[in-house]
Chains A and B, each alone.
Chain A
Amino acid sequence: AIQLTQSPSSLSASVGDRVTITCRASQGISSALAWYQQKPGKAPKLLIYDASSLESGVPSRFSGSGSGTDFTLTISSLQPEDFATYYCQQFSTYPITFGQGTRLEIK
């Protein structure tokens, strides 16, 4: 199975900060990667798909980039509602796998 490793595992930041989260795949997955946001007690929400496409309705401060094995999620200017846990997911091959998550906390 393809392993996804996110870094950092947790991150403290302030409102207005620019934040970058990375996701590294154990083998090349082209652009078959998505990013999800999950808040406590809630289901994940799709933010970015195909590595860099913004899901409809998601604020433009979220962006994704990368291909092959290295990917990034960037939040250009953190808002209070962005403090959550973020997961990457690959859909290149089965089994579908997820990263371990990055918890974004308020500094």
Chain B
Amino acid sequence: QVQLVQSGAEVKKPGASVKVSCKASGYTFTNYPIHWVRQAPGQRLEWMGFISAGRGDTKYSQRFQGRVTITRDTSASTAYMELTSLRSDDTTVYYCARLGPTGWFDPWGQGTLVTVSS
């Protein structure tokens, strides 16, 4: 079945960087974009950006422009989201999601908790 599996939880210090992976299976990876969304506890979902898994084109939310980089490795069917200059308010769960055949997010990865603490 179509599945996205993300890397495990991370603990980082303020100012550091984190790179979260999202491995796809059950479909042709290069056919569908991968988006990244984050969700702080009790907060609404927040879109960060996406990558066209085939061509590698990217688009980022202005809110994260300059701090986020989304890449992919087609040979590994894996997308990556790197966030730099981490702050305490970056402590949240990060999700990847495929933009599926309907043109909407399906499925989602299981989420990766990133904790930023000194």
> Is the C-beta of B102 less than 8 angstroms from some C-beta in chain A?
yes
The digit string for B44-59, where 1 denotes a CB below 8 A from any CB of A, is 1111000000000001
The residue in chain B whose Cβ has the minimal distance to the Cβ of A87 is B45
List B residues 65-99 near A (Cβ within 8 Å).
95, 97
Q: Which chain A residues have a beta carbon within 8 Å of chain B's beta carbons? A: 34, 36, 42-46, 49-50, 53, 55, 87, 89, 91, 94-101
A25 CB, min distance to chain B CBs, angstroms: 14
Q: Which chain B residues have a beta carbon within 8 Å of chain A's beta carbons? A: 35, 44-47, 59, 61-63, 95, 97, 100, 102-111
Q: Which residues of A contact B106 (CB under 8 A)?
A: 45-46, 55
A95, B108: Cβ atoms closer than 8 Å: no
Q: Which residues of B contact A42 (CB under 8 A)?
A: 110
B111, A43: Cβ atoms closer than 8 Å: yes
B42 CB, min distance to chain A CBs, angstroms: 9
Distance, CA A55 to CA B104, complexed state (A) = 10
The interface residues of chain B, by DSSP majority, are classed as loop
A34-B105, A43-B109 known; 13 other A-B pairs, CB under 8 Å?
A: A42-B110, A43-B97, A43-B111, A44-B105, A49-B104, A55-B102, A55-B106, A87-B45, A89-B45, A95-B62, A96-B35, A96-B47, A101-B44
B47, A46: Cβ atoms closer than 8 Å: no
Q: Which of B44, B59, B102, B110 contacts A46 (CB 8 A)?
A: B102
